Amino acid sequence: MSELMQIIRRRHSERASFNRDRKVPAPSIRRIIEAGRWAPTAHNMQNFGILFIDDRQVLERLGRIPTHPSPAFIRENFDQLSMSEEELKRKKVGILGLGFPPAWRDW
């Protein structure tokens, strides 16, 4: 149990803005994928696949797929949404709505 508490105490969340030009080092990608493989799932089913894409053109095409936010997501997370970096800094917690695809910001 003490090892678990150390892990919990050492974890942190990155709060920097997303930089699409920043390359993620290969060792970090491997660690992220490995963590995802071992992450808990509902009923221990592991019913997912991990797809890693680093081709800029494919990522651009995927980014243009129209999507819309789930009304349930908005309802459940509305208090956490910030529509400007200043608002997020003031709240000190939440989700920066400007990071969502444009179609998500028009609701």
pLDDT tens track for 92-103:
888 787 777 776
Position 5 in a domain: no
CA distance 34 to 50: 10
Range of the domain at 87: 16-105
**Mean pLDDT across the chain, nearest whole number?**
83
Position 7 in a domain: no
Position 24 in a domain: yes
Position 76 in a domain: yes
- Cβ neighbours of residue 67 closer than 8 Å, sequence gap 6 or more: 101, 103, 104
Q: Looking at the 3D structure of the chain, how many domains does it have?
A: 1
| Burial class of 19 by CB neighbour count within 10 A (0 to 12, 13 to 18, 19+) | exposed
CA distance 38 to 59: 25
Q: How much is the average pLDDT of 74-98?
A: 81
Q: Is the pLDDT of residue 52 over 70?
A: yes
The alpha carbon dihedral of 70, 61, 101, 86 has a sign of: positive
In this prediction, residue 60 carries a pLDDT of 87
Position 28 in a domain: yes
Position 1 in a domain: no
Strands 95-96 and 81-82: parallel
CA distance 95 to 33: 23
Q: Phi, psi at residue 57, to the nearest 5°?
A: -65, -40
**Percent of the chain scoring above 70 in pLDDT:** 93
Convert the pLDDT of each residue in 60-75 to its tens digit. Answer: 898 888 877 788 877 7
In this prediction, residue 107 carries a pLDDT of 56
Looking up tokens 């910030």 gives 82
**Percent of the chain scoring above 90 in pLDDT:** 13
- Confidence class for position 106, pLDDT limits 50, 70, 90: low
pTM: 0.49
